[in-house]
Amino acid sequence: IGAKFIKCLYEGDLTPASVVKAETIAAGMVECIAEDPSCIKFLSALADHDYYTYFHSVRVAAYATAIAVAMGLTDETRLKTIALGGVFHDIGKKDVPLALLNKSGPLTDQEWKLMRGHPAAGHGLVGETVLHHVPREIILHHHEKRNGAGYPHGLDKGSLLQEVQIATLADIFDALTSSRAYQAKRSR
């Protein structure tokens, strides 16, 4: 269900109805992980599917929720906002050409500029009223680094919400443990 939703989302427009569907998926993920944290292992089988970005977003939402639960976070509303941010974190890649997303070689400076624009583009897509503050922050800042060397704003750990840092870790984990056009997957 999550993969189907993400596919529709990336191929269609962001509407209030799509946000409601994403909230339902996020709530289901929180419930599933809270009930049985080992269920996260089964999501790794999706890593090799043709629609990498679609499934990547679902996995990031699930991993971020699992990380938050493992850290001892129990507030269901907070867990749902983390999962929702994970679902939407790469929405800005919607307008990045698939040839660039799946390029097997190094990116040119111009291609990097386009790729690095996806967090701000995603933040612009969801606007100020569609999503809660935390998912919007995850969308905008999931490529920031704790040392301030990330993008788009060069924020450090003191300026990043804990939820953003959790989603960033989930994003990195999934990127490293998934097969991609330019790298082989690594073991957990």
Could you report the per-residue pLDDT of 31-56, keeping only the tens digit for each? Answer: 767 766 665 554 443 333 346 777 88
Please answer whether residues 182 and 80 qualify as being in contact, where contact means their C-beta atoms are separated by less than 8 angstroms.
no
Backbone angles phi, psi at 180, to 5 degrees: -135, 165
Which is nearest to 166 in space by CA: 85, 90, 93? 85
- Distance of alpha carbon 59 from alpha carbon 170, whole angstroms: 8
Burial 140-174 (b: 16+ CB within 10 A, else e): bbbbbbeeeebbbeebeeeebbebbbbbbebbebb
Q: What is the pLDDT at residue 3?
A: 61
Spans of the chain below 70 pLDDT: 1-11, 32, 35-51, 129-130, 181
Q: What is the pLDDT at residue 20?
A: 79
pTM exceeds cut of 0.85: no
